[in-house]
């Protein structure tokens, strides 16, 4: 699949934003984070900026971005539509909880219910976004048990590293739990992503040209003549290929930036005075974002659409 920059930015930024929003609302609702004004301004500000920036970026891939609102009408059958509705709905409890936290200095009591609703809405949006890809039977690499857990853990890990940096900067006395969560989520996301790569690489092709044409029962099906003499839209969008050696290098870059660097920097933040520790953790968050851009590029580039079976591919 062609890795569109707008969709890569969307999945990276919105994932981190919702991960941060989920942890901030959940921990705040249980009284595990203080209703500090500076902490709320920084954390909610970055969370909303990432979420909004990601959603805006997602519309840039459309031929007519001004018609994006129409996608919301198919929420009964389309995961893309459900994701859009969930994203819009999530703004209400999240903004209300941010108001209570920042303007009123309250994040527990009756405000806990608002925080829990915000956390639930953020989690539901991330799930819907993952299901956009996991529901596509035409892309076997996505249509499996790994896509949604991977996406959810990547969102949680990147959001947790951001939260660790902000708590160290503005509420260092409450930073221990966010730091531990950042380490645990980053390690879990790295392990799951590496394992899913290995499983997907070892999986046999699930669809062949015979399956696509319905002629598999007659023997091996091969292309006699290409449907087109030149590249067309389908080949550009669905037939994108990345060399295995390049994919291996990019995987190492993703593992280094998205997981190893944030883990080490957050770990060092434990041993460093709060102002410097906060700088280390926030540097880890920036490294994670850069690494996730690479990981998301690979997510699309390594996927093969079954339509390529009609253009000469033997299997996907």
Segment 51-67 mean pLDDT: 79
Query: Rounded to an integer, what distance in angstroms lies between the CA atom of residue 167 and that of residue 40?
Result: 10
Phi/psi for 143 (5° steps) reads -80, 80
What pLDDT band is residue 172 in, cutting at 50, 70 and 90? very high
Taking the alpha carbons at both ends of the chain, their separation in whole angstroms is 12
Least confident of 52-61, 179-188, 304-313: 304-313
Sort 256 into a burial class: Cβ within 10 Å, 0-12 / 13-18 / 19+.
Answer: middle
The pLDDT tens digits for 68-93 are: 667 677 777 889 889 989 999 999 99
- What tens digit of pLDDT does each residue of 241-287 get? 777 788 899 999 999 999 999 999 999 998 888 789 999 999 999 99
**Residue 99 pLDDT greater than 70, yes or no:** yes
**Which stretch of 39-43, 136-140, 162-166, 206-210 has the lowest confidence by average pLDDT?**
206-210
Tell me the per-residue pLDDT of 173-188, one tens digit each, with 9 for 90 and over: 999 999 999 999 999 9
Q: What CATH homologous superfamily does 5-311 map to?
A: Formate dehydrogenase/DMSO reductase domain (1.20.1630.10)
CA distance 186 to 263: 6
Mean pLDDT of 28-36: 97
Q: With pLDDT > 70 as the criterion, what percentage of the chain qualifies?
A: 89
Burial class (CB in 10 A: 0-12, 13-18, 19+), 261: buried
Q: What is the pLDDT of residue 258?
A: 97
Question: Which one has a higher pLDDT value, 285 or 220?
Answer: 285
The answer to whether 198 and 307 have CB atoms below 8 angstroms apart is no
Q: Which of the residue ranges 72-81, 144-153, 190-199, 202-211 would you say has the lowest mean pLDDT?
A: 202-211
Q: What pLDDT sits at residue 308?
A: 76
Question: How many residues are present in the chain?
Answer: 316
Please tell me the predicted confidence (pLDDT) of residue 170: 96
Cα–Cα distance for residue pair 189/149, rounded to 1 Å: 9
C-alpha span between 303 and 70 (Å, rounded)? 27
Close Cβ partners of 28 (under 8 Å, ≥ 6 residues apart): 35, 97, 101, 107, 108, 115
Q: How large is the angle between the packed helices 147-170 and 5-29, nearest 10 degrees?
A: 60
């Amino acid at each position: 699949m062609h890795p569109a920059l707008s969709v890569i930015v969307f999945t990276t930024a919105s994932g981190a934003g919702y991960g941060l929003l989920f942890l901030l609302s959940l921990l705040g609702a249980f009284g595990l984070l203080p209703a500090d004004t500076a902490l709320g301004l920084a954390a909610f500000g970055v969370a909303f900026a990432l979420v909004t920036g990601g959603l805006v970026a997602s519309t840039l891939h459309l031929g007519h971005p001004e018609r994006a609102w129409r996608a919301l009408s198919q929420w009964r059958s389309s995961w893309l539509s459900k994701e859009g509705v969930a994203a819009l709905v999530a703004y209400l409890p999240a903004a209300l909880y941010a108001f209570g936290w920042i303007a009123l200095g309250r994040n527990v009591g009756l405000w806990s219910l608002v925080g829990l609703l915000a956390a639930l809405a953020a989690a539901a949006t991330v799930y819907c976004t993952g299901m956009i890809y996991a529901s596509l039977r035409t892309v076997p690499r996505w249509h499996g048990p790994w896509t949604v857990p991977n996406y959810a853990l990547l969102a949680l890990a990147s959001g947790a590293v951001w939260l660790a940096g902000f708590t160290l900067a503005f509420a260092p006395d409450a930073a221990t739990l966010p730091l531990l969560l950042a380490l645990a989520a980053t390690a879990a996301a790295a392990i799951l992503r590496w394992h899913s790569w290995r499983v997907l690489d070892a999986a046999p092709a699930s669809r062949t040209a015979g399956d696509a044409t319905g002629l598999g029962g007659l023997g091996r099906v091969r292309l006699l003549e290409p449907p087109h003499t030149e590249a067309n839209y389908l080949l550009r969008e669905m037939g994108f290929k990345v060399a295995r050696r390049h994919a291996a290098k990019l995987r190492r870059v993703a593992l280094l930036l998205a997981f190893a660097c944030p883990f080490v920097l957050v770990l060092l933040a434990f041993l460093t005075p709060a102002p410097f520790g906060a700088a280390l953790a926030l540097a880890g968050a920036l490294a994670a974002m850069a690494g996730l851009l690479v990981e998301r590029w690979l997510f699309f580039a390594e996927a093969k659409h079954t339509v390529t079976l009609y253009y000469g591919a033997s299997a996907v």
